[in-house]
Amino acid sequence: MALNSGFDAVAITDAIKKMNASASDLMRALHEDMKSQFIEPMGGIWACQDAVDFFQSLKTTMDGLITKSDSTFQSVVDTMNQGAVNWARNTGNEGAYNQIPYHNYTGRTVVDMIKENINNQRGIDKGAAEDILKKLTNIKTACDAALTSAASAVAGASNSGFIGGDQAANLEASLNDIKTTINNSLDEFNTTTSQSINETIKKYGSLETKTADTFNVKKSAAAGGVTQSTK
């Protein structure tokens, strides 16, 4: 391993803290943002068994991404910590560095808000769904930013000298692999969600129209008037 002339605890701490922060940002995008920006809003405007099945499949994929990302970040932080320990030992500073832990992420995707029906109606509000679908771009951008920051932390560690160039290249490759996997998965979600939206419209029609009709029926009945369809 190529070493600088002196042990630099600040460089180590900064690099590993940046790595941990990047991991937190990535997990927030994959879990919390996916839930609040995409899954929960869809739950209010999309209801049928096909939707339930679709989001169960999405959950499986997202949980896989979270698990793989978490494992990768754990490995990267462990490697950086070990490099720091070695650096301290090789520069006569053994015991001067306390390892910074990586805290595994335990959150997993929840899709219980996607129902087979909403007030006994099945279908989708296509316009609203297409607006919500655009949020996947924001999530993808957030993931990309987090992984770019993580790669920068590895580069900083390599420049400081507490991990070797080949080792740094391997760590960056593992992070790039995660980035590619996430980007491909989100791109696929974009395509398959659009297809599923159109299939739901063909099969069940517009949930927005049905909900409006149901409301008007109840409103007319309560007023004792004649019910007219809005269709």
pLDDT band at 159 (very low <50, low <70, confident <90, very high): confident
Residue 81 within a domain? yes
Residue 65 within a domain? yes
Residue 2 within a domain? no
Using CA atoms, how far apart are residues 195 and 132, in angstroms rounded to an integer? Answer: 14
Work out how many domains the chain is built from and give that number: 1
Residue 231 within a domain? no
Residue 178, pLDDT > 60, answer: yes
Give the torsion sign (CA, 6, 16, 67, 129).
negative
Residue 40 within a domain? yes
More confident residue, 221 or 54: 54
Residue 166 within a domain? yes
What does pTM read for this prediction? 0.85
| Residue 143: domain span | 9-223
Q: What is the pLDDT of residues 57-114, one digit of tens each?
A: 999 999 999 999 999 999 999 999 999 888 888 888 877 788 999 999 999 999 999 9
Q: What per-residue confidence (pLDDT) applies to 127?
A: 94
Residue 196 within a domain? yes
